[in-house]
Amino acid sequence: MKKILALVLVAVFILVGLAACGDDKNDQSKDQSTQSQASQDTTSQTQSDISDETSTDPYSHLRGFNLDEREIKILVYGDYRDRYKSVEIMYHDSNPEVINTAIETRNQIVEELLNCKLTEVRVDDVLADARTDAMVDGQYDIIMPYMPAAATLAQEGYLYNLYEFSDIIQLEEPYWDQRANSDLSIANKLYFSTGDFSLLTFDCTHAIVFNKKLVEQNSTVEDPYQLLKDNEWTFDALYRNARLVTFDTDGQDGMTFMDTWGLFINENYTTTMFIGSGERLTRKDGDDLPEIAADTQRAIDVVEKIRQIYNDRTASINIESYAVTGTQYRDVYHAASAATGENRALFRTLAIVDLNELLDYETPYGILPTPKFDETQDEYYNIVSAILSSCICIHTNVYDADESAAVAEALAATSTDTLRRAYYDYVLKGRKITDEEGEFALDIIFNNRVYEMATIYNFGSLPTLITTCAKATSNIFASTFGGMKSSVEAQIETLIDTFQNLD
H or E element in which residue 290 lies: strand 290-292
Q: Residue 83's pLDDT is what? A: 86
Is the pLDDT at 160 greater than 70? The verdict is yes
Q: How far is CA 131 from CA 197, 316, 408, in A?
A: 23, 43, 19
Q: CA neighbours within 13 Å on the CB side: how many for 393? A: 36
Q: How far is CA 73 from CA 15, 89, 103, 162, in A?
A: 27, 11, 16, 19
Q: What is the DSSP letter of 221?
A: S
Cα distance between residue 74 and residue 72, in whole Å:
6
* Residue 93: Cβ within 10 Å count: 7
Is the pLDDT at 495 greater than 70? The verdict is yes
Is the pLDDT at 32 greater than 50? The verdict is no
The answer for residues whose C-beta is within 8 angstroms of residue 110's C-beta and 6 or more apart is 116, 118, 407, 410, 411, 414
Q: Residue 18's pLDDT is what? A: 45
Report residue 13's pLDDT band, with 50, 70 and 90 as the boundaries: very low
The stretches of 195-296 forming alpha helices (DSSP H) are: 199-203, 212-217, 224-229, 235-245, 269-276
User: For residue range 85-131, what is the model confidence (pLDDT) as tens digits?
Assistant: 999 999 999 899 999 999 999 999 999 999 999 999 999 999 999 99
Report residue 4's pLDDT band, with 50, 70 and 90 as the boundaries: low
Q: Residue 8's pLDDT is what? A: 52
The share of the chain scoring above pLDDT 90, in percent, equals: 84
User: For residue range 207-217, what is the model confidence (pLDDT) as tens digits?
Assistant: 999 999 999 99
Contact 98, 18 (CB under 8 A): yes
230 in helix, strand or coil? coil
Angle between helices 147-155 and 477-501 (to 10 degrees): 50
The answer for residues whose C-beta is within 8 angstroms of residue 82's C-beta and 6 or more apart is none
Distance from CA of residue 261 to its chain's centroid? Answer: 26
> Taking the C-alpha atoms of 477, 483, 485 and 487 in order, what is their torsion angle to the nearest 10 degrees?
-150
The answer for residues whose C-beta is within 8 angstroms of residue 152's C-beta and 6 or more apart is 127
Cα distance between residue 308 and residue 297, in whole Å:
17
Is the pLDDT at 46 greater than 80? The verdict is no
Is the pLDDT at 386 greater than 70? The verdict is yes
User: For residue range 118-158, what is the model confidence (pLDDT) as tens digits?
Assistant: 999 999 999 999 999 999 989 999 999 999 999 999 999 99
Residue type, 5: L
Is the pLDDT at 359 greater than 60? The verdict is yes
Among 30-34, 260-264, 316-320, 466-470, whose mean pLDDT is lowest?
Answer: 30-34
Mean pLDDT of the chain: 90
